Amino acid sequence: MKTALQKLSSRKLWAAAAGIVTGLAMVFGLDEGVIATVAGAVVSVASVVTYIVTEGRVDAQSVKTVVQAVQNAEDALRETDGK
């Protein structure tokens, strides 16, 4: 099951949101310039959110890797000291 952050980083979600916003803007008769600006803003936000979530995942994985390496080194030292 996807977490909330994974769902927020979905390009499909943001494309759907841009489509809904654009459709509503047309229904309410907003100027095409305003529609283009809003759609551009939605796409920009999607890019930033996706980047932040992706970088967070990469950083979290790096931390897990380092923690595992430290634990392995500690285990190896304890085995050496115990002999």
Domain boundaries, the chain: 4-82
Q: State the average pLDDT for the chain.
A: 82
Q: Which two tokens stand for residue 37?
A: 């600006």
Q: Find which of 13-17, 21-25, 26-30, 71-75 is predicted with most confidence, using mean pLDDT.
A: 71-75
Q: Enter the pTM of the model.
A: 0.55
What pLDDT does 5 receive?
A: 65
Distance CA 40, CA 33 (A): 10
Is residue 75 over pLDDT 70?
Answer: yes
Helices (H), 1-83: 4-8, 11-27, 32-82
CB 11 within 8 A of CB 58: no
Q: Which two tokens stand for residue 19?
A: 């489509």
Distance CA 51, CA 14 (A): 13
pLDDT bucket at 26, cuts 50 / 70 / 90: confident
pLDDT bucket at 71, cuts 50 / 70 / 90: very high
